[in-house]
Amino acid sequence: MKPLIVLITDWTYKEGAIMSMKGVMKTIDPTLDITDGTHEIPQYDIWSASYRLHQSMRFWPKGTIFITVVDPGVGTPRKGVAALTRDGYVIICPDNGTLTHIAKDQGIAEVRQLHAHLRLPSTKGTSIFHGRDIFGYVGAKVASGELTFAQLGETFDKNDIVSLPDLTLGNENDLIFGQLEIDDPNFGNVWSNIPIQWLYDAGYTLEDDIRVTIRHKDDVVFDQVLPLRSSFGSVAIGSPVAYVNELMVVAFAICQGSFAKTYQIRYGIDWKVEIKR
Amino acid sequence: MKPLIVLITDWTYKEGAIMSMKGVMKTIDPTLDITDGTHEIPQYDIWSASYRLHQSMRFWPKGTIFITVVDPGVGTPRKGVAALTRDGYVIICPDNGTLTHIAKDQGIAEVRQLHAHLRLPSTKGTSIFHGRDIFGYVGAKVASGELTFAQLGETFDKNDIVSLPDLTLGNENDLIFGQLEIDDPNFGNVWSNIPIQWLYDAGYTLEDDIRVTIRHKDDVVFDQVLPLRSSFGSVAIGSPVAYVNELMVVAFAICQGSFAKTYQIRYGIDWKVEIKR
Amino acid sequence: MKPLIVLITDWTYKEGAIMSMKGVMKTIDPTLDITDGTHEIPQYDIWSASYRLHQSMRFWPKGTIFITVVDPGVGTPRKGVAALTRDGYVIICPDNGTLTHIAKDQGIAEVRQLHAHLRLPSTKGTSIFHGRDIFGYVGAKVASGELTFAQLGETFDKNDIVSLPDLTLGNENDLIFGQLEIDDPNFGNVWSNIPIQWLYDAGYTLEDDIRVTIRHKDDVVFDQVLPLRSSFGSVAIGSPVAYVNELMVVAFAICQGSFAKTYQIRYGIDWKVEIKR
């Protein structure tokens, strides 16, 4: 069985880009099994692309090839790379921070800079669609068996992979602190980077209340006592709640509402969260 | 040939949820053929999920497995179920009203409450993603042949399936009355539950005009004489029309416009429609 | 290997239409490989549908079947057709202008009007869903091998295919003029119909500046000197740029911004562009 392919981009389906990319891949091998991971990464949001790999890659069969193209620097000197993770997944992407989470959590076994000659031959005059002309093309060649991982390019030092800045995460006395790492843009939940296990270790249960303080830079934008529960469905419709999300970190929701919109809360390096009794 | 799988959710592709769910399924069996039915059911709108099954299931091969997850009550005591329809389809979903239309129209042959032990083993500490951890997991096990329908759980009385309230539909003297059952959120059409055959039986033809009165609760929000035609394309651009929709019920549109937006009309138990000469 | 199928519509995934259409096709042959080209063509925008075929079809294997349904005239007397291109692709669509670009660029070898009897038998009473009842049905029959192209209907004169009006494109003295042919509704780029080769032939390089004038009808809506570069990433974030797009025509962008929104520029027959030094 050939490796499965998963695509992650910020292109949306509003024009023909994905159709073109899949055509290139199916021309190389019409039997390839290509899944849309998502094409709705927020525009240019490399952090989100990196997070979605972290969130979902582990659930796929080992050997699956993830082609991840959130690439505002396309056509500039940033590298195109192929990474092999310690647990055997392949990621083909621009080297722009897309590998941040996976490098830290799963670990990269080997990374290669894609050979310049590996591109769809008919597209030499254009520089702005590496998803179609390089990443998709290369991914299909690997999945079909035409190219091995080792043939994709020269290896380079894993420490030279471009990485986005680390988030804060810690535990001091009675205070557990971390950051808002990502949102669910559909339901309006916000996910922290604090493992629920840290709260269990500190003696909290899913029947307790917790004091949650959220800061944007130095401004407190949320400071409330919230029920800590197993599900957003455990509180009344319209009520805020802290809950255990699908990756076993502490997350914040409003039951059938949007925590992010209601409290004007986003995510990333500028957003800090503290939990105490 | 293994059964096909169709997914219906309200998750959208804005984050990694569908990617995770499909990964679980493809890890169980990478040869599964999984189709996105839709992931854009309006949030928490179980009625719409139920309707989309009614609208589309009949066009799929018998034996197809529909995994339908519009599940605001995830992590609360509502049941997870697998239903076998009289005509041989399988639906795996929360028991929250999702089976309303199918139970009434196609009929349920057998319904089983999913065994608690049937879930992705690595996800035991989280309660909020049954699409990934239970429904997708179970659906893939059935499609792959690892589990039979009978192995999914104990049967329970079909009459105990959670059902959303019935709509009104009737015919008195010269008045045909029913409800606005659903919309087409893309083109802005609104579909009633009145079979076009009732109008034919009452002597109407697709060259007649009809008097259409739409009420929200007790307020009349629309009261006009409309041409009854075979297509929204049968009237001038911008004009309202009653037409025969794809399921042979009476529907309302504006040619290349939005009936729903123009007249501020929605659907469901509070929306009634009357047709007379 | 059976031909691949690609779908292009303006239906979105907001309701069950695509699910119904794919069900019809998978019932005819569950082994068919059906790819979503896009379902987000702007509503009723036949020009965009035609352009997306032009943009992406060439990247697919010869023999691929494109079912393209942007069909505001469904249920009216417009023809349903199947076209075979000179290079061996099949397009099944309403004859409403969808074939404009392909007829001009790739060329049509043969076009047939679909036989009236070729439709999903159970749907005879409805006229508004030819995507499900005719185009999808016929496309699946051809892909599965049940019907040959020649069996789809009688041929008619290629010159009778409905075509949308031609765009202007020319070169006089030092002035290169053309039109804004399409946008990228996601990133907000706008693409002209002017081949970059014309600029190279006139002595321009990707390090030059060019004077770009854009008119809507007779009004000048944009008149600036822009850098001509290989990528939108070649200028500072927020800056406008002319660049070589994926189809080797001159396009306009704002780096990580929306050229279309910022300057209120759209595309089509009313939009003209001039380039000079």
User: What are the extents of the domains in chain C?
Assistant: 5-160, 170-276
pLDDT value at residue C66: 98
Say whether residue A88 is in contact with chain B using an 8 A CB cutoff. Answer: no
Measured over the CA atoms of residue B201, residue B203, residue B208 and residue B214, the dihedral's sign is: negative
- Check B230 against C128: CB less than 8 A apart: yes
B257-271 burial by CB neighbour count: b if 16+ within 10 A, else e? bbbbeebebebbeeb
Q: What's residue C41's pLDDT?
A: 98
Kindly list the residues from chain C whose CB atom is less than 8 angstroms away from the CB atom of residue B56.
Answer: 16, 19-20, 23
Write down the mean pLDDT value for chain C: 97
Which residues on A lie below 8 Å from C243 (Cβ)? 128
- Residue C262: helix, strand or coil by DSSP? helix
Using an 8 Å CB-CB cutoff, list chain B residues near C31. 1
pLDDT at residue number A77: 86
At A240-276, the pLDDT tens digits run 999 999 999 999 999 999 999 999 999 999 999 999 9
- Judged by CB atoms closer than 8 Å, whether chains meet at A27 and C184 is answered as no
> Per the CB < 8 Å rule, is A55 touching B129?
no
Nearest residue of A to residue C251, measured between CA atoms: A128
Q: Which chains touch A (3 or more CB pairs under 8 A)?
A: B, C
Residue A180 confidence (pLDDT) above 90: yes
Q: Is the pTM of this model over 0.95?
A: yes
Q: Does C75 touch chain B (CB under 8 A)?
A: yes
Superfamily of domain B170-276: Bacterial fluorinating enzyme like (2.40.30.90)
Q: What is the pLDDT of residue C77?
A: 86
Q: Is the pLDDT of residue C167 over 90?
A: yes
Which candidate from C23, C72, C76 shows the least CB-CB separation from B60? C23
Interface check B45 vs C, CB under 8 A: no
pLDDT exceeds cutoff 90 at A75: no
Nearest C-alpha in C relative to B7: C19
Q: Answer whether residue A173 shows pLDDT above 90.
A: no
Give the closest of A18, A21, A26 to C61, CB-based: A26
Cβ distance of C1 and A74 shorter than 8 Å: no
Per-residue pLDDT, B77: 86
Q: Do A5-160 and A170-276 show the same overall fold? A: no
- From A133's Cα to the closest Cα of chain B, the distance in A is 24
Contact between residue C65 and residue B97 where contact means Cβ atoms under 8 Å apart: no
Q: Quick one: tokens of B236?
A: 């001038």
CB pairs under 8 A between B and C: 111
Task: Quickly state the pLDDT bin for C252 (edges 50, 70, 90).
Answer: very high
CA distance A239 to A209: 13
Q: Is C24 on the interface with B (CB under 8 A)?
A: yes
Q: Are C49 and C40 in contact (CB under 8 A)?
A: no
**Amino acid symbol at C206:** L
What does the pLDDT read at residue B38? 98
What was the pLDDT predicted at C53? 98
User: Does position C76 have pLDDT exceeding 90, yes or no?
Assistant: no
Q: Three-class SS string for B215-243?
A: EECCEEEEEEEEEEECCHHHCCCCCEEEE
Q: Is the pLDDT of residue A46 over 90?
A: yes
Neighboring chain C residues of A74 at a CB cutoff of 8 Å: 231, 233
pLDDT of C226 over the 90 cut: yes
Chain B closest CA to A52's CA: distance in Å? Answer: 6
- Per-residue CA distances from B162 to B47, B108, B179, C79 (Å): 12, 13, 21, 46
Radius of gyration for the alpha carbons in chain C, expressed in angstroms and rounded: 21
Q: How confident is the model at residue A194 (pLDDT cuts 50, 70, 90)?
A: very high
- Categorize the per-residue pLDDT at C75 as very low, low, confident or very high, splitting at 50, 70 and 90: confident
**Predicted pLDDT at C107:** 97
User: Is C15 close to B234, i.e. CB distance below 8 A?
Assistant: no
pLDDT by 10-residue block (mean), chain B, 277 residues: 97 98 98 98 98 98 98 90 98 98 96 97 94 98 98 98 96 95 97 98 97 97 98 95 97 97 97 97
pLDDT of res. C219: 97
Q: Is A205 part of the contact surface with chain B (CB cutoff 8 Å)?
A: no
C16 and B CB contact within 8 Å: yes
- Region A229-245: mean pLDDT is 96
User: If one looks up domain C5-160 in CATH, what number appears?
Assistant: 3.40.50.10790
- Whether the CB-CB separation of B67 and B7 falls below 8 Å is answered with yes
Instruction: Report CB contact under 8 Å: A128, C187.
Output: no
